[in-house]
Structure 1
Amino acid sequence: MTTFTHINSQGEANMVDVSSKQETVREARAEVIVTMSQKTLEMILSGQHHKGDVFATARIAGIQAAKRTWELIPLCHPLLLSKVEVNLTALPETNQVRIESFCKLTGKTGVEMEALTAASVAALTIYDMCKAIQKDMVIEQVRLLEKCGGKSGHFLAK
């Protein structure tokens, strides 16, 4: 049976000791969907948004967030990421933006939280930049798509 790794024998939260783990290449992909009105999406895609390039800003915010995950999520280790990628895809048929993040490193602990944080903060940045136009956008389906490397092996979402 799998146990919570961030809980010690007294039931207290603690940072996992990874010092004895082997360094391996570790990768993770995550996604988030932002649903908005057709008008909002068209404004983003046409470059007519008064705050500038929404996708470029969201991409940079996601990358920065991945690099600072250890400051945001208690008990996460500071990681030396070798790659962070944030891709935004407009889905005009559903008035959505799909955000997919990818994080990679060679290290002793995984990068799932960094990938999830990157995608989430990119989505929040879209919301922040567009809230003056539309306040009822929906951020949903924050999920891990894939992870590989380390002792637990390969995970691929269904």
Structure 2
Amino acid sequence: MKYLLLLVSIISVSCYADDTIYQYKDKNGATVFTNKPVKNGKKVVLPAITVYAAPMTQSDFKAKGYTNSMAAKNANQDSNIKKNYTQSMNQNLGTNEVGRQQILNEELALEQKALTDSQQALQSGMATKLPSEQNNPEQYQARIKALRDAVTEHQKNIDILSNQLGVKH
């Protein structure tokens, strides 16, 4: 019996000793971790893993047959708190929606102003050629394309905001 106990303890200690981790850099420079000793590998000391039990739930408490009047009172308070929280969230939902609508309306107004500004910039940009663009038509085309892209971007933003607000323009 003593020999069996000694054998089991030796096996358990040897299993624990195999948990050594080595770190090294491979030929590509990547960091590699392994459980086998490697030349130029450094031994990594890792902290022990700790395991905690999950807290007891209300159903666990009831299943184990506990009878505690304080626990029942706390359960009632918890259900009242959850009910009040749900009611306040439902009330705030209406005010949050109003705030959202207001923000979207402000964004829509800003995008419409930005659209008119970018359209005016496009018109004036098409009407005049810069001196550097006289001999370089690609530069002129690139500038006009950027102005057109800005107009298109503002139009897309207005469409998105209008859809979110439910407004047809």
- Please give the TM-score of this superposition, normalised by the length of structure 1: 0.23
Greater relative contact order (Cα 8 A, min sep 6): structure 1 or 2?
1
- Please give the TM-score of this superposition, normalised by the length of structure 2: 0.22
The structure with more radius of gyration:
2
